Amino acid sequence: MTAAPPDIDIEAALARIAACDLAGAEEAHARMMAAESAAEFSDLGRTYQRLARSLRQSLALKARLAREAEAAARERLLDVARRTARGRELEGRLGAAVVVCAEPHEREAALAALAREVEIESERPDFLTADIEALVADICARLPLDEPKVDAVDRVSHVMGKGLWPHQAAWPSEEVTPAGMSSAAPRPGAPDTG
């Protein structure tokens, strides 16, 4: 089906065509019933049949377009819901990681930046199909934190994505530890060696 010009209301046009078909079919039927000869009755019968078929087709097309519009609206709502859920998952994982890894004075700015970055990412056409770890890495790279903390946020987020909390995973041997813990302090979950 070719696209209608943008200034035509397709639904209104189909309703008008259906009304005209109905009026024509009623008129043809009335004349057919009043016909005085078999030939006139037959001729008017064919006219009535064509108008009735045109009416059915107009009504069927109108109903199909309404179903398609409803399905498209439902799909748009589902897309928004899926994007919102994935955005919340990202923001939850990364937000918890920021709280664990950032210094208290950095958290507010980092969490605000995180919310903006997740919103920007959620507009990507491939947001729902993109690898979650790649999204996490992209967002982490743009957070207003220094490089070691960005790496720590990325690692903590990765651990949390596996259903673990940071204290359940081994911390790297380098100097990057969650905020508030010195690198000399025992790692979370590590056995006490003292």
Q: Are residues 138 and 159 in the same domain?
A: yes
pLDDT in tens, 19-74: 999 999 999 999 999 999 999 999 999 999 999 999 999 999 999 999 999 999 99
Q: Are residues 95 and 65 in the same domain?
A: no
Q: Are residues 43 and 92 in the same domain?
A: no
Q: Are residues 82 and 153 in the same domain?
A: yes
Q: Are residues 23 and 91 in the same domain?
A: no
The reply to whether the predicted model has a pTM over 0.75 is no
Q: Which of 16-30, 76-90, 112-126, 132-146 has the lowest mean pLDDT?
A: 132-146
Q: Are residues 92 and 44 in the same domain?
A: no
Q: Are residues 70 and 100 in the same domain?
A: no
Domain limits for position 39: 10-74
Q: Are residues 147 and 66 in the same domain?
A: no
Q: Is 183 among the domain residues?
A: no
CA pair distance 103, 8, nearest whole angstrom = 59
Number of domains present in the structure of the chain:
2
Q: Is 63 among the domain residues?
A: yes
Q: Is 31 among the domain residues?
A: yes
Q: Are residues 51 and 98 in the same domain?
A: no
CA pair distance 162, 167, nearest whole angstrom = 13
Q: Are residues 140 and 164 in the same domain?
A: yes
